[in-house]
A and B are shown apart, each in its own frame.
Chain A
Amino acid sequence: MGLQGSAAIVGIAELKPEKKPTGPEKFSIEQWAQLARLALLDAGLSHGDVNGLVTSFVMESAMLAPATVAEYLGMEVNYAEYVDLGGATAAGMIWRAASAIELGIADVVVCALPGAMTPQPPGAPPAMDGWLYGASSNAYGSPQAEFEIPYGNIAQNSGYAQIANRYAAEFGYDARALAKIAVDQRTNACANPEALFYGKPLTIDDVLNSPMIADPLHMLEIVMPVSGGAAVVLASREKAAQTPHRPVWLTGFGERLAFKTHTYAADLVRTPIGPASDTAFAMAGLSRQEVDMVSIYDCYTIAVLLAIEDAGFCAKGEGMDFVNSHDLTFEGDFPCNTHGGQLSFGQTGMAGGLSHVTEGARQIMGRAADNQMTRCDTVFVSGNGGIMSEQVALILRGD
């Protein structure tokens, strides 16, 4: 079942995360073109090589986004896909692109996620719905409009906090272990000049002394959305042979989703990354012990803890001990989010999820800088959308 592992990431592009974007704002389709250009340059491939596109939403077109992008880029493609998995979108794009390549319907596929603000028409009032409701839907007939929003159950913080409190009730809670996840990732960011928090070391006490946002989550355990963008080019074995970098093969993936609002999760602390990871490892024919680095979607520290457990790197309920007894830095015995993670690299909107893919590719290609691991052949990547509600696991491998 599944992939043969004959499609590879051959080019990556990533804009440096910024709190406030420098330079003029660009529309989504302009950002898409910029990111595609950079990723193709990195891969040594050209406009005419591309015959597949994977996108998520673009601000300029609520419908028909892939066609909007293809037309703007001036590309005719055999494969165009729209992925709508929140924070799991990036990882979801990668396996879809690789599948299309293995099916033989495309041999060079570009996946891009713009992550910067777009220009507003002169004099227009700011759009409010996204600000008021986040990813929740206030449309008539939406279960969230009727049964969540009126109770204030909106946005991510309260949902992840409820996961953490449920976890505490079942397994106990060591706030210092959770904080250590953020601290180790900050150590990684301090070796990565591209990271938003480069040069700003962090201690466990700093995390625990930061303001409580939603019990038990502190401010420094929560990502800060910033501006950026990323893209990845995948290619067939034949095309990959013409590219300059060590190819990063996708040898396994899994995907699982079951709900939108966490209230309706069958089990709030045994999350969909479990079955998604089982599928991915079985497809790749690998054990957890063969992984050199984990690139885990880290919107919150509790999300990392649950992914470490549910993806099978330790037993359920032992994640806090595992974090306390392992070094999660790029020089450690369980390297995790070597770019700093979104917590310290920066959550560049939807592109933040792609940063976990680009970092995995960078480590396997040997192109990380001061944070390069001495040896990295196998990377586990997770994507996490909603409130741990939609999850994707990827296995990346170098030859």
Chain B
Amino acid sequence: MNFEKPLPLATPTSQPFWEALTRHEVQIQQCGDCGAWIYYPRAFCSKCLSPELEWKEISGRGTLYSFTIARRPTAPFWADDVPQLIAVVELDEGPRLTSTLCNVEESDIRVGMRLQPLFDDVSDKGVTMLRYEPE
């Protein structure tokens, strides 16, 4: 059984997001019509359905909206990676995203704590994952 961890496969819509991460930049979309910040990448604005979405570089910083410490692997791929520190991060621009926490003691994790991006280059795969650590 091959339990190589699943990696994101960029689509034509999301490619700028993943390409920016390989340069250690965070880019998300902003709607040219209603001004909403959008995550995850879309072809149409999830506030107004406008197709006028523009890629903008942001700091990627945010706060911890919620988290869990998974003591059992959420799927067999992470059998050797427990505990998994799975997080919902609220970007300073507003949208939330899913990530994992790094460089933090379990007992120090607090909802509302400030977080900054940690660019995790997956060797040989040309993919950079957007993880988070305390500011």
Contacts and interface: CB of A to CB of B under 8 A. Distances in A.
A271 to B, nearest CB: 14
For the residues of A in contact with B, the DSSP-based class is helix
Nearest to B95: A264
Contacts of A152: 70, 73-75, 77-78, 81, 84, 86, 100
A229 B75 CA distance: 27
Which of B67, B74, B129 is most buried by chain A, counting CB atoms within 10 A of its CB?
A: B74
A147 B40 contact: yes
Contact of B70 (A132, A214, A262): A214
B72 A263 contact: no
A40 interface: no
Interface of B: 5-11, 14, 40, 65-78, 81, 84, 86, 88, 96-100, 110-112, 129
A352 B69 CA distance: 27
Which of A153, A161, A211 is most buried by chain B, counting CB atoms within 10 A of its CB?
A: A153
A391 to B, nearest CB: 19
7 nearest interchain CB pairs?
A161-B68, A169-B111, A166-B66, A162-B66, A215-B69, A146-B8, A214-B70
Contact of A161 (B70, B75, B77, B110): B70
B99 A151 contact: yes
Interface residues of A, number: 38
Interface stretch (A77-85, A87-95, A133-141, A273-281): A133-141
Given A146-B8, A152-B78, A165-B111, 4 more contacts: A146-B9, A157-B70, A161-B68, A162-B68
Given A140-B9, A152-B75, A212-B71, A263 B111 contact: no
A214 B85 CA distance: 10
Given A152-B100, A166-B111, A146 B14 contact: yes
Interface in A21-57: none
Interface of A: 132-134, 138, 140-141, 143, 145-155, 157-158, 161-163, 165-166, 168-169, 211-215, 217, 261-264, 268
A147 B8 contact: yes
Contact of B68 (A148, A151, A215): A215
Contacts, number: 108
A134 B11 CA distance: 23
A169 B112 contact: yes
Contact of B8 (A150, A155, A163, A215): A150
A335 B70 CA distance: 32
Nearest to B11: A141
15 contacts: A141-B11, A148-B98, A151-B99, A152-B74, A152-B81, A155-B74, A158-B86, A161-B69, A165-B67, A165-B68, A165-B111, A211-B71, A213-B70, A261-B98, A268-B88
Given A152-B86, A169-B112, A158 B8 contact: no
A150 B5 contact: yes
B15 to A, nearest CB: 11
Contact of B6 (A138, A161, A212): A138
Contacts of B74: 152-155, 157-158, 214
Which of A138, A147, A155, A261 is most buried by chain B, counting CB atoms within 10 A of its CB?
A: A147
A150 B7 CA distance: 5
Contacts of A161: 68-70
Given A147-B8, A150-B5, A152-B70, A166 B75 contact: no
Contacts of A211: 71
A169 B8 CA distance: 31
Contact of A149 (B6, B71, B72, B97): B6
Contacts of B99: 151
A163 B86 CA distance: 12
A146 B40 contact: yes
Contacts of B88: 162, 262-263, 268
Nearest to A268: B66
B27 to A, nearest CB: 14
B75 A147 contact: no
